[in-house]
C-alpha cells in the first residue's frame, strides 16, 4: 500500500471502450429502435444477445453465510453463471447500459429531494483485480454520480483520529454511488496480520464496523461489500506477468512478495471478517476472481440487482410542463 488517500471522480472512458463493439445507440433494442428510457417505477430490462445464458441471482449465489469458508471456495468458479468468457463479453455492454440508467435515476432522484445512495466496497489481496473493477465496472457509470476513494496507508493526520474518521469523510452523498478501493476493513486485515495495534484494539473494531454500517443502511445507503477472492497460485502468475512485461513493471510492488509470506494469516483474517461483519443489512459477497472476466461480470450484476431493488425514481417536475411547452412554442 502507498501513502495517503485520495478521493476522485471516475472516468467514463473505459465504458466507451467496453461498448465500442456494439454500435447501436445506448438503450436500443434488437429491432434497431432508438434509445428508450424506462418510465418511473418500471424495471430496467437487460436484453440477452446471441443466446447468451441469463445469469441467476448473483446476490444469492455469492452472499457469505454462517457456513461460508474462504478456504473451500473455488476461486475459478462462476457461481450464478453458466456461460463462458465470450458469453460474459456479450452481456457486459448491455449490463453497463442498465446500471448506467439506474445510476442516473438515483442521481436524478436526489435532485428531487431523495436521500439514498450506494456504497460499493471492494476488498481483495494484491493482484485480485480491484483495478479492473474500477475500469470496467465503475468506469461504465457517469462520473458525475460516482465518488471513488482509494484508501492507502493512513496519513499522519488520519492516525490522529479514530480509524473510521477518514471513512466517514469519504461516504457518498445523496444520489451518489460511492466506491471504496480498499476500505475500513484494512483496519482488521493488514492491521491484524502485522500486529500494528494491540489485539484488543483491532478485535473491538468488528463490532464498531457492524454498528457503523448498520447506521449507514438506516440512513439510506445501500452497502455492497465485495471480496475478490483469488488463489495463491493465481497471484503468483499475475505477479510473474508483471515482472515479465516492461509495460507492467509500474504495477509491480516488491512488497507484494513480502505480503505473500502472510497468505495463510490473511485468509484467517478474511474468514473472521466474513463471520463477524457479514450482516443481514450489509452482507459480504465473495466473488471468485481467478477469472477476471467473471469477477467483472459478477460485480456489475451485483450493482444491477441492488439498484433494481432500490428502484430509484425520476423526480416529478417542479413546474407546469404544459405551460412551459406553450412558452417554448412562442420563442
Reported as a single tens digit per residue, the pLDDT across 58-89 is: 999 999 999 999 999 999 999 999 999 999 99
Per the model's pLDDT, the better-predicted residue between 26 and 112 turns out to be: 112
Instruction: Using pLDDT thresholds of 50, 70 and 90, give the confidence band for residue 56.
Output: low
In 3D, which of 81, 158, 92, 148 has the Cα closest to residue 121?
A: 148
In three-state secondary structure terms, 172 is coil
pLDDT given at position 131: 95
Looking up cell 453465510, which residue turns up? 65
Alpha carbons within 13 angstroms on the beta-carbon side of residue 63 total 17
Are residues 103 and 172 in contact, defined by beta-carbon separation less than 8 angstroms?
A: no
Between CA 263 and CA 280 the distance in angstroms is 28
Q: In the predicted model, what is the mean pLDDT of residues 213-235?
A: 98
pLDDT given at position 179: 98
Q: Is-above-0.85 flag for pTM?
A: no
Q: In the predicted model, what is the mean pLDDT of residues 33-44?
A: 40
Amino acid at each position: 500500500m502507498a501513502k495517503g488517500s485520495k478521493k476522485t471522480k471516475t472516468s467514463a472512458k473505459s465504458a466507451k471502450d467496453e461498448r465500442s463493439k456494439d454500435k447501436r445507440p445506448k438503450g436500443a433494442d434488437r429491432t434497431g429502435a432508438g434509445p428508450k428510457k424506462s418510465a418511473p417505477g418500471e424495471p430496467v430490462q437487460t436484453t440477452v444477445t446471441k443466446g447468451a445464458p441469463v445469469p441467476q441471482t448473483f446476490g444469492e449465489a455469492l452472499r457469505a453465510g454462517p457456513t461460508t469458508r474462504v478456504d473451500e471456495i473455488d476461486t475459478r468458479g462462476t457461481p450464478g453463471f453458466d456461460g463462458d468468457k465470450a458469453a460474459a463479453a456479450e452481456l457486459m455492454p448491455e449490463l453497463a447500459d442498465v446500471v448506467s440508467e439506474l445510476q442516473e435515476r438515483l442521481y436524478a432522484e436526489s435532485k428531487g429531494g431523495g436521500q439514498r445512495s450506494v456504497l460499493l466496497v471492494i476488498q481483495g489481496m494484491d493482484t485480485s483485480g480491484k483495478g479492473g473493477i474500477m475500469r470496467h465496472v465503475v468506469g461504465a457509470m457517469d462520473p458525475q454520480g460516482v465518488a471513488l476513494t482509494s484508501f492507502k496507508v493512513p496519513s499522519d493526520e488520519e492516525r490522529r483520529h479514530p480509524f473510521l474518521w477518514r471513512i466517514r469523510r469519504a461516504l457518498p452523498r445523496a444520489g451518489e454511488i460511492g466506491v471504496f478501493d480498499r476500505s475500513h476493513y484494512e483496519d482488521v486485515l493488514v492491521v491484524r496480520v502485522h500486529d500494528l495495534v494491540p489485539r484488543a484494539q483491532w478485535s473491538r473494531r468488528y463490532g464498531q464496523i457492524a454498528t457503523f454500517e448498520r447506521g449507514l443502511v438506516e440512513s439510506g445507503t445501500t452497502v455492497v461489500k465485495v471480496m475478490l477472492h483469488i488463489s495463491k497460485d493465481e497471484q503468483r502468475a499475475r505477479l510473474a506477468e508483471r515482472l515479465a512485461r516492461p509495460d507492467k513493471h509500474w504495477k509491480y510492488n516488491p512488497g507484494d512478495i513480502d505480503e505473500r509470506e502472510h497468505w495463510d494469516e490473511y485468509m484467517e483474517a478474511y474468514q473472521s471478517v466474513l463471520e463477524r461483519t457479514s450482516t443481514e443489512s450489509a452482507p459480504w459477497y465473495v466473488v471468485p476472481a481467478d477469472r477476471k472476466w467473471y469477477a467483472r461480470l459478477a460485480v456489475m450484476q451485483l450493482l444491477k440487482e441492488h439498484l433494481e431493488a432500490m428502484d430509484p425514481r425520476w423526480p416529478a417536475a417542479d413546474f407546469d410542463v404544459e405551460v412551459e411547452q406553450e412558452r417554448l412554442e412562442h420563442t
